[in-house]
């Protein structure tokens, strides 16, 4: 069966996620209104500007609908998307959804606040594999709750986390042509 997967398309780089999910054989829907969530199997919240997306979640009526959706179905947030999924974004301009038990600090990679790319080690299924990662004004994960698995770190700091069916990524897996993180996420569809 072809999975119908939504990408929140309020602001940011939703188009690249749509391309990746399409390449993986999903039927992809850009999501702008609450009633579009009904038939989806999973939802991606893309990178962009988290304070802007936070406001748009309210003006579109999607905030409650996404929280409700996440009770049963998988959500992946990348960069600003992770900021929106976390428990505490440490910034009053962002009201997060509390889907992942982590706290973050926005725009916080030390001197590398703007952007950088690196190869990181991805820990999935007991294996460590190299993965190319592009960071763009990335958030830093601070506290990680007990139910959260850390699947990749840089200098000891979590950059890829999973809690149950949900995935949070500080970098941009939609930009490198390596689709393993999207595949990992889609694996949570039941």
Look up 157 and say whether it is catalytic.
Answer: no
C-alpha 40/C-alpha 27 separation (Å) is 9
Query: Which residues are paired to 7 by β-bridges?
Result: 30, 44
Neighbouring CB atoms inside 10 A of 41's CB total 18
Does residue 106 belong to the site contacting ligand GLN (CB under 6 A)?
yes
Considering only 47, 74, 168, 173, the residue that binds ligand GLN (CB under 6 A) is: 47
- The residue from 79, 86, 166, 182 that is catalytic is 79
Interaction between residue 79 and ligand GLN (CB under 6 A): yes
Rounded CA separation 85/99 (Å): 5
Tell me if 56 contacts ligand GLN by CB under 6 A. no
Q: Is 114 a catalytic residue?
A: no
Is 174 tagged catalytic? yes
Secondary structure class of 131 (helix, strand, coil): strand
Q: Which is nearer to ligand GLN, 83 or 160 (CB)?
A: 83
Nearer to ligand GLN, 52 or 60 (CB): 52
Does position 17 interact with ligand GLN (CB under 6 A)? The reply is no
Q: Which is nearer to ligand GLN, 37 or 86 (CB)?
A: 86
Q: 184 in helix, strand or coil?
A: helix
Q: Which residues contact 53 (CB under 8 A, 6 or more apart)?
A: 8, 10, 11, 12, 45, 80, 81, 84
Q: Is residue 107 within the footprint of ligand GLN (CB under 6 A)?
A: yes
For the beta carbon of residue 175, count every other beta carbon within 10 angstroms. 18
Q: What is the binding site for ligand GLN (CB under 6 A)?
A: 47-50, 79-80, 83, 106-107, 136-137
Active site residues: 79, 172, 174
């Amino acid at each position: 069966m072809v999975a119908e997967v939504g990408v929140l398309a309020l602001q940011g780089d939703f188009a690249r996620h749509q391309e990746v999910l399409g390449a993986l054989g999903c039927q992809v829907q850009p999501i702008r209104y609450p009633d579009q969530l009904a038939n989806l199997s999973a939802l991606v919240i893309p990178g962009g500007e988290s304070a802007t997306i936070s406001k748009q979640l309210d003006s579109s009526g999607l905030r409650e609908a996404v929280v409700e959706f996440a009770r049963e179905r998988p959500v992946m947030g990348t960069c600003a998307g992770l900021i929106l999924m976390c428990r505490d974004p440490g910034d009053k301009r962002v009201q997060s959804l509390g889907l992942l038990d982590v706290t973050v600090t926005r725009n916080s990679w030390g001197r590398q606040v703007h952007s950088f790319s690196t190869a990181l080690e991805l820990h999935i299924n007991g294996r460590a594999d190299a993965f190319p990662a592009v960071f763009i004004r990335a958030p830093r994960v601070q506290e990680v709750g007990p139910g959260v698995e850390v699947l990749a770190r840089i200098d000891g700091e979590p950059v890829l986390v999973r809690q149950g069916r949900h995935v949070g990524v500080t970098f941009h897996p939609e930009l490198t042509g390596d689709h393993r993180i999207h595949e990992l996420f889609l694996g949570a569809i039941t």
